[in-house]
Structure 1
């Protein structure tokens, strides 16, 4: 419409403008639905996070062992891997056992804190002569030796301090006398692979799976 006097357009403004938004009831329903979804998904999320911490700890320990072995060969020296505290570790170069000097630390090569992404992981160490092992020594050829510590680390089991046995996915690291290392999934009981005992939970692998211990 044009202004009849000056010929300018005239815009008609309606008396009321309708605005659309959320009502209080709609907002409460949305919040309730989100709350239910979070409640249903939170346990699974926590389980995933905690099992990720188990794997992080296990892979870190395996890395530390591999560093100790490779540095022994590279330096043509004896190195020692020490576990703890927690899932933390330290790799050091030590005096040769045949030098007539105690296997003391010559230099620290690398360390890792157990709080780095795996503070809830639990560690159980089995030595070559039983429990209580805390270290393993590598020779310049990459083999393990008991010359410094009679009870060397032979196996490390990593689990979760938060999840029960039906939810956690524990991992195991095995060390051979030749310096070989393997990360695998432990298996308990003699039950059929297709019908594992409740203690095994959801961490079941078929016979022949290379990830299984």
Structure 2
């Protein structure tokens, strides 16, 4: 009995259908991946904030969390600056500006506790550190030995969103209270009974 394979026409039809499916699915897949990056970045930043607070309590001394921008988002080196739009972060005693590549130390400035690049997001998220007013930029929050915030103009909110303003993403926000508590919330949730609701939801 003679075996029959695919004809050229059948193969072309299959490839065309597959290409159409990919064309329809790609935007959705891209948004899903960006939403995953947003979640991962938010969780990494939350971990950094919690590390700063717990270390301040453990050492009974002021420890700060800094948002930083890196020249190469995948490399934590000294080509860095403290920035309200940085997705990388450093937990340290002193400002890590131009010293982000320093090894963790309790004696050598800037006395880094822990640092992390924003490379997990692949540059596909936007981070905005803000004061409590929700509009003024901020990049640093300092915790004291009681776990409370001690600096006068502290980072009180971090908004994390996707790279394209025309796309509807699942944005997330971190809120830091004056008492030092850190929580993740969804700025689009308006139901007051929903635990995901932010203190001040988005107006849009």
| TM interval, short-chain normalised | 0.7 to 0.9
How far does residue 27 in structure 1 lie from its aligned partner after superposition? 0.5
Find out whether 1:210 has 2:195 as its counterpart.
yes
How far does residue 207 in structure 1 lie from its aligned partner after superposition? 4.1
Aligned counterpart, 2:171: 170
Instruction: Find runs of 4+ consecutive structure 1 residues off by over 6 angstroms.
Output: none
Whether the 8 Å CA contact 1:64–1:90 is kept in 2: the answer is yes
Find out whether 1:117 has 2:118 as its counterpart.
no
Kindly tell me the number of residue pairs found equivalent between the two proteins. Answer: 169
Cα gap change, 1:172 to 1:116, in 2 (>3 Å): same
Find out whether 1:63 has 2:41 as its counterpart.
no
How far does residue 128 in structure 1 lie from its aligned partner after superposition? 4.4
Comparing both chains, which one has the higher relative contact order based on Cα–Cα distances under 8 Å and sequence gaps of 6 or more? Answer: 2
Of residues 137, 155, 175, the one that matches 1:132 is 137
TM-score normalised to structure 1 length: 0.73
How far does residue 64 in structure 1 lie from its aligned partner after superposition? 0.3
Whether the 8 Å CA contact 1:87–1:118 is kept in 2: the answer is no
Find out whether 1:23 has 2:7 as its counterpart.
yes
Larger Rg belongs to: 1
Whether the 8 Å CA contact 1:160–1:168 is kept in 2: the answer is yes
Q: Which runs of 5+ in 2 are unaligned?
A: 70-85, 96-107, 199-204
Alignment of 1:139-158 (within 5 A): 139-146=144-151, 150-158=152-160
Whether the 8 Å CA contact 2:159–2:174 is kept in 1: the answer is yes
1:17-37 alpha-carbon deviations (Å, 9 max, x no partner): 623111101101110111111
Distance (whole Å) between structure 2 residues aligned to residue 49 and residue 206 of structure 1: 27
Distance (whole Å) between structure 2 residues aligned to residue 163 and residue 33 of structure 1: 31
Q: Which runs of 5+ in 1 are unaligned?
A: 1-16, 96-103, 188-203
Aligned counterpart, 1:90: 90
Aligned counterpart, 2:63: 79
What's the Cα RMSD here? 2.1
TM-score normalised to structure 2 length: 0.76
